Amino acid sequence: MTSIAAVSSYLPDTVPLASLQEQVGLSDVQLRRYQRFYGLADVCRDEGGTETDLLLRAAAKLTELRGQEQRVKYVLQARTMPSPLPYPLTSVGPLREELGLGHAAGFVVSHHACASGLLAVDMAGMLLAADDDPDALALVLAGEKACTYRTQSIPDVTVMGEGAVAMLVSGEDAGPNRMLGYAARTHARFHSDFILGGDAAKDFQAQYLPGLCEVIVTALDEAGCGLDELALVLPHNVNRLSWMGVCKQLGIPMEKVFLDLVGAAGHCFCADPFLNLQHAQELGRLRPGDRYLMTSVGLGATFSAMVFEH
């Protein structure tokens, strides 16, 4: 069974959303809407750091990795977008060497855009299940730079942050965060462009609520878990308003959705659900036996949900 054995995160210093208004291309009306209705206030940005720096800073806090390096057989980097550099210049190579994991197989997962983080955890579990070594581990990393105009925001939806996470994934049944169910569905008609416009954007907005609700229900069914059994929802941090619709549709109390980082970090590509996991654990929001839900939506368009037991 796939389990997140340990998770650590790195959140750079934040800047006020208003200071990014011109850079992101927000009108005054859009800025007020983002702040008042979307709950976006600050965005974490590491102006001096590279993508590799972000991921190394997250991994440096993963104390459970120290002394366990030889157990790590696989290193998976989850990315929203394909790497801008050719192999072997991608972040995976330097990361493996810096972390003492040169012996491990490493690759990038970007097939599901911002939902690739959940896909990477599922893939890590499948790799470990097929491995002959029962003690084998996988390291999953997520976090990217918002370094171009088109990657700094999703128009009329959110602004991108530069938080990063590192996770150890194990194949043991008795891990601290055991995966019980996973569902993903790709609506390929939205694949044509990373940033949708015109009628395609309207169609995606119409599909968003039913698409997300569908995979949530499917993941819960696979886990044998009811909505009322969920202690917490760890979402993708696009904005608060989108979650009001989901909660109303499914009957989930808004207080069960962990939205603390929406206004303090922005939407950190594939890292959001795992950033929320690390911070929810720190705050004592999860108790032994609690079942919780992770979600993510990737443009292109993939809707994903994953159920865990803490």
Q: pLDDT tens for residues 138-181?
A: 999 999 998 877 778 888 889 999 999 999 999 977 678 999 99
Bigger pLDDT: 194 vs 269: 269
Q: What is the pLDDT of residues 247-256, one digit of tens each?
A: 999 999 999 9
Q: What is the mean pLDDT of residues 17-37?
A: 91
Q: Is the pLDDT of residue 33 over 70?
A: yes
Given a contact cutoff of 8 angstroms between Cβ atoms, the answer to whether 309 and 235 are in contact is no
Q: What is the pLDDT of residue 65?
A: 97
Share of the chain above pLDDT 90, in %: 78
Q: Residue 191 above 70 pLDDT?
A: no
Confidence band for 278, pLDDT divided at 50, 70 and 90 = very high
1 or 237, greater pLDDT? 237
Provide CATH code, domain 3-170: 3.40.47.10
- Can you give the pLDDT at residue 119? 98
pLDDT for residue 193 = 59
Please choose, from the candidates 96, 109, 299, the residue with its C-alpha nearest in 3D space to the C-alpha of residue 186: 299
The beta-strand segments (E) located in 105-171 are 105-109, 137-142, 153-154, 158-159, 164-170
Q: Which residues contact 302 (CB under 8 A, 6 or more apart)?
A: 111, 112, 113, 115, 184, 185, 186, 187
Contact 156, 30 (CB under 8 A): yes
| 121 has pLDDT over 90 | yes
| Residue 209 CB neighbours (<10 A) | 15
When the pLDDT of each residue in the chain is averaged and rounded to a whole number, the result is 91
Q: Please state, in angstroms and as integers, the Cα–Cα distance from residue 304 to each residue in 176, 212, 260, following that order.
A: 22, 7, 21
Please state the rounded mean pLDDT for residues 110-131.
96
Token pair recorded at residue 191: 């694949």
**Looking at 242-309, which runs of residues are DSSP E strands?**
291-298, 302-309
| Residue 230 burial class via C-beta count within 10 angstroms: exposed 0-12, middle 13-18, buried 19 and up | buried
Residue range(s) occupied by CATH 3.40.47.10 in the chain: 3-170, 178-309
Q: Specify the pLDDT at position 197.
A: 58
198-223 vs 240-250: helix crossing angle, rounded to 10 = 50
Q: How far apart are CA 114 and CA 247, in angstroms?
A: 21
pLDDT at 194 over 60: no
Task: Tell me which fold the domain 178-309 belongs to.
Answer: Peroxisomal Thiolase; Chain A, domain 1 (3.40.47)
Residue 196 has pLDDT above 60, yes or no: no
Quick check: 69 pLDDT over 90?
A: yes
Report residue 122 CA to chain centroid gap.
13
* pLDDT for 88 beyond 90: no
